[in-house]
């Protein structure tokens, strides 16, 4: 079934949140939006959804721009390129949301809710005990309008909720799935405006899509359960909704939803690990789409020329890293030798990381060859732990006999805490990294030197490196977290160290055999 194309120019968008590393899923959805716009002579918009004031950062926003451009995604309108429908950051559009929220309250489609966090948590607990789906119970739904206004004017804290129908069903027309139906009793009264005056995703999403003239909302299928609320908002405002297209989620090889726990999801990681941008873009184009004839290698221009979003397969596309490596190999082998050398040099010297790494290495150098021996920790994808793997058990090489040594299971918990704390570091700078690691050591009750050593070995594969926090800053968030997750996974295995010890035993046997051959008396000549 063809996707409806309106008479007005096609306008599509992506709206990432600048709260962490740029995600491969963002690039996947962006590629299909961009291809749809280009194929239909339309416009592709980048909007930044930065209403999460505690987690959104300009640093993350800049990383989104850079990573999307690295992979080959370019937009026609956005915060950094401008456009006639700006501003394109939601934090700069709050007046729009408040105005439209007041309209909904005046029309009776929304209401103020004065419930405290304690009351809401108590209600959720009671619902869990009763084996009910936790949801808002509508306590403030029937408040007198004048009383509600007086309480708000008196300074009492409140949120604004959508008055969603309590009976019947909602029908979501999805261009790939047909009609998707929802029982309204399972949908609660969504918060539209938070107590700080900032909108939730749902309110800002609908208002911005309407005001920016978005004709097609092409997004991941995880948002399909929210679409009844969005359609209800369009109806409450009296607006025509866009065409909804919910793309299949990227999957791990075991068909679970892709997540950083099982696969690297950061675009920055793939750039740092040596994936070519054209290979990554090609790979993302294979996610649920085929050019036909079993063709798997193609350019962006070829993808756009062939593109028909109605041909997207709803079967969960598998984000297979082996397939990505294979495809990347095709592109690498297709480069001229001079181009390959140029790309390799650019990869190592990207963003002046070579200067930052050199500054850290310089004090330890005795010859130029040593630079490359020491620098690989900054540019390699994986690090080999080898004999140093035992150091992941915190305190296994404690400097003081009185220091607390953790068990393997306690060390697993320590690394889990380190990961959580570092994932929460807003600005990836040495001071913030150090503060997070010190708190992890304090929680685990270990000497900071021992806790830091375990992290050092997990990230670099070595017990001796340039200063730890500066090293982690240069290695970068994405690569640091990936290496820590790998160390955490290795440490979590019941057979931890068995493989390493077996490899060591084999290496020792090989050395002993070589020595025996070298020391054996020469056979007499005849």
Q: Say whether pLDDT at 524 is over 60.
A: no
Nearest to 237 by CA among 95, 90, 105, 51: 105
What's the rounded Cα separation, in Å, for the pair 249 and 29? 10
CA atoms within 13 A on the CB side of 327: 23
At residue 503 the predicted structure's pLDDT band, cuts being 50, 70 and 90, is low
What's the rounded Cα separation, in Å, for the pair 131 and 149? 35
pLDDT score for 350: 63
Q: Are residues 242 and 255 in the same domain?
A: no
Nearest to 291 by CA among 305, 277, 278: 305
Does residue 335 belong to any structural domain of this protein? no
Q: Say whether pLDDT at 520 is over 80.
A: no
What's the rounded Cα separation, in Å, for the pair 91 and 343? 38
Q: Are residues 358 and 303 in the same domain?
A: no
Angle (CA) 102-103-105 rounded to 5° is 65
Q: Are residues 385 and 459 in the same domain?
A: yes
- Give, rounded to a whole angstrom, the gap between the first and last alpha carbons of the chain: 87
Per the CB < 8 A criterion, the answer to whether 140 and 156 are in contact is no
Tell me the DSSP string of 412-470.
Answer: HHHHHHHHHHHHT-SS--HHHHHHHHHHHHHHHT--HHHHHHHHHHHHHS-S--S-HHH
pLDDT score for 399: 63
Cis peptide before 299 (omega within 30 of 0): no
**281: containing domain:** 11-82+251-324
pLDDT score for 363: 79
What's the rounded Cα separation, in Å, for the pair 8 and 375? 54
pLDDT score for 67: 94
3-state secondary structure of 502: helix
pLDDT score for 408: 87
Does residue 329 belong to any structural domain of this protein? no
322-351 pLDDT, tens digit per residue, is 999 999 999 999 999 999 999 888 777 665
Q: Which of 247, 262, 286 is the last residue of a domain?
A: 247
What's the rounded Cα separation, in Å, for the pair 394 and 407? 8
Q: Are residues 436 and 504 in the same domain?
A: yes
Q: Say whether pLDDT at 253 is over 90.
A: no
353-403 pLDDT, tens digit per residue, is 677 888 888 878 777 877 777 777 887 778 888 778 888 888 877 666 667
Residue 169 belongs to what H/E stretch? strand 169-174
pLDDT score for 502: 58
Q: In this structure, how many other beta carbons lie within 10 angstroms of the beta carbon of residue 509?
A: 10
131, 194, 229, 260: which is the annotated catalytic residue?
A: 260
Q: Residue 440, class by beta-carbon neighbours within 10 Å (0-12 exposed, 13-18 middle, 19+ buried)?
A: buried
As a whole number, mean pLDDT of residues 251-259 equals 84
pLDDT score for 56: 86
Question: Is residue 260 annotated as a catalytic residue, yes or no?
Answer: yes
% pLDDT > 90, the chain: 64
Q: Say whether pLDDT at 509 is over 90.
A: no
Q: Are residues 70 and 208 in the same domain?
A: no
Does residue 342 belong to any structural domain of this protein? no
As a whole number, mean pLDDT of residues 71-77 equals 97
Residues counted in the chain: 526
Q: Are residues 353 and 312 in the same domain?
A: no
Q: How many domains does the chain have?
A: 3
Does residue 130 belong to any structural domain of this protein? yes
Q: Are residues 381 and 525 in the same domain?
A: yes
What's the rounded Cα separation, in Å, for the pair 218 and 333? 35
Does residue 341 belong to any structural domain of this protein? no
Structure tokens at 86: 């700006």
More confident residue, 451 or 387: 451
Does residue 102 belong to any structural domain of this protein? yes
What's the rounded Cα separation, in Å, for the pair 425 and 420? 9
Q: Are residues 123 and 175 in the same domain?
A: yes
Report in angstroms the alpha-carbon separations of 84 from 45, 75, 96, 218, 366: 11, 14, 16, 21, 58
What's the rounded Cα separation, in Å, for the pair 156 and 140? 14
231-245 pLDDT, tens digit per residue, is 999 999 999 999 999
91-126 pLDDT, tens digit per residue, is 999 999 999 999 999 999 999 999 999 999 999 999
CA torsion sign for 131, 134, 135, 139 is positive
pLDDT score for 296: 92
pLDDT score for 246: 96
As a whole number, mean pLDDT of residues 48-77 equals 92
Q: Residue 464, class by beta-carbon neighbours within 10 Å (0-12 exposed, 13-18 middle, 19+ buried)?
A: exposed
Mean pLDDT, the chain, rounded, equals: 89
Angle (CA) 165-167-169 rounded to 5° is 85
Q: Are residues 479 and 371 in the same domain?
A: yes
At residue 507 the predicted structure's pLDDT band, cuts being 50, 70 and 90, is low
Q: Which of 225, 247, 269 is the last residue of a domain?
A: 247
Q: Residue 137, class by beta-carbon neighbours within 10 Å (0-12 exposed, 13-18 middle, 19+ buried)?
A: middle
Does residue 119 belong to any structural domain of this protein? yes
Q: How far is CA 92 from the centre of its chain?
A: 24
Q: Which of 222, 247, 272 is the last residue of a domain?
A: 247
Q: Say whether pLDDT at 132 is over 90.
A: no
Nearest to 35 by CA among 318, 221, 291, 206: 291
At residue 27 the predicted structure's pLDDT band, cuts being 50, 70 and 90, is very high
Q: Are residues 107 and 153 in the same domain?
A: yes
pLDDT score for 499: 58
pLDDT score for 1: 62
Q: Are residues 132 and 229 in the same domain?
A: yes
Q: What is the CATH number of the domain that holds 491?
A: 1.10.10.350
pLDDT score for 199: 94
Structure tokens at 161: 């909720």
Q: Picking from 136-140, 183-187, 372-376, 486-490, which range would have the lowest pLDDT averaged per residue?
A: 372-376
Q: Picking from 200-204, 261-265, 399-403, which range would have the lowest pLDDT averaged per residue?
A: 399-403
More confident residue, 222 or 345: 222
Does residue 333 belong to any structural domain of this protein? no
Structure tokens at 339: 């181009």
Q: What is the CATH number of the domain that holds 276?
A: 3.40.50.620
What's the rounded Cα separation, in Å, for the pair 126 and 114? 19
Structure tokens at 473: 């800053």
Q: Are residues 354 and 316 in the same domain?
A: no
Indicate the pTM of the whole model.
Answer: 0.85
């Amino acid at each position: 079934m063809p996707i409806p194309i309106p008479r007005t120019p096609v306008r599509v968008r992506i709206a990432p949140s600048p709260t962490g590393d740029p995600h491969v899923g963002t690039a996947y959805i962006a590629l299909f939006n961009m291809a749809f716009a280009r194929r239909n002579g339309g416009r592709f918009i980048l909007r930044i959804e930065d209403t999460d004031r505690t987690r959104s950062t300009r640093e993350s926003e800049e990383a989104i721009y850079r990573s999307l451009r690295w992979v080959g995604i370019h937009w026609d309108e956005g915060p950094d390129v401008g456009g006639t429908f700006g501003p394109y950051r939601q934090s700069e559009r709050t007046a729009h949301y408040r105005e439209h929220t007041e309209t909904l309250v005046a029309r009776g489609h929304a209401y103020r809710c004065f419930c405290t966090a304690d009351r809401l948590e108590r209600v959720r607990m009671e619902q869990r005990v009763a084996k009910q789906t936790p949801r808002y119970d509508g306590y403030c739904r029937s408040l007198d309008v004048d009383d509600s206004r007086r309480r708000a004017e008196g300074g009492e804290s409140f949120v604004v909720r959508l008055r969603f129908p309590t009976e019947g069903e909602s029908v979501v027309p999805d261009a790939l799935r047909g009609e998707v139906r929802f029982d309204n009793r399972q949908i609660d009264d969504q918060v539209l405006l938070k107590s700080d005056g900032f909108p939730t995703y749902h309110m800002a999403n609908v208002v911005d899509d309407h005001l920016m003239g978005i004709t097609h909302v092409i997004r991941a299928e995880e948002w399909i359960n929210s679409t009844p609320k969005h359609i209800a908002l369009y109806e409450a405002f009296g607006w025509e909704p866009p065409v909804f297209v919910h793309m299949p989620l990227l999957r791990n090889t075991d068909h679970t939803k892709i997540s950083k726990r099982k696969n690297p999801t950061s675009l920055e990681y793939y750039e740092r690990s040596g994936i070519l941008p054209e290979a990554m873009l090609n790979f993302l184009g294979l996610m649920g789409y085929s050019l036909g004839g079993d063709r798997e290698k193609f350019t962006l221009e070829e993808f756009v020329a062939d593109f028909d979003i109605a041909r997207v397969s709803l079967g969960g596309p598998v984000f297979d890293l082996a397939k990505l490596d294979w495809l990347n190999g095709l592109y690498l082998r297709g480069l001229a030798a001079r181009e390959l050398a140029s790309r390799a040099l650019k990869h190592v010297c990207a963003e002046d990381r070579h200067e930052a790494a050199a500054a850290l290495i310089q004090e330890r150098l005795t010859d130029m060859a040593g630079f490359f021996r020491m620098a690989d920790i900054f540019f390699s994808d994986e690090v080999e732990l080898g004999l140093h793997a035992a150091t992941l058990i915190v305190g296994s090489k404690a400097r003081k006999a009185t220091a607390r040594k953790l068990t393997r299971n306690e060390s697993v918990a320590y690394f889990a805490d380190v990961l959580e704390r570092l994932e929460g570091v807003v600005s990836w700078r040495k001071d913030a990294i150090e503060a997070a690691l010190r708190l992890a050591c304090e929680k685990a009750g270990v000497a900071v030197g021992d806790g830091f050593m375990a992290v050092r070995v997990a990230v670099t594969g070595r017990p001796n490196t340039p200063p730890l926090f500066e090293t982690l800053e240069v290695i970068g968030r994405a690569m640091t977290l990936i290496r820590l997750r790998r160390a955490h996974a290795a440490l979590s295995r019941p057979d931890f160290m068995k493989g390493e010890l077996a490899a060591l035993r084999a290496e020792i046997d090989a050395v002993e055999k070589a020595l025996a051959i070298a020391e054996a008396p020469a056979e007499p000549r005849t």
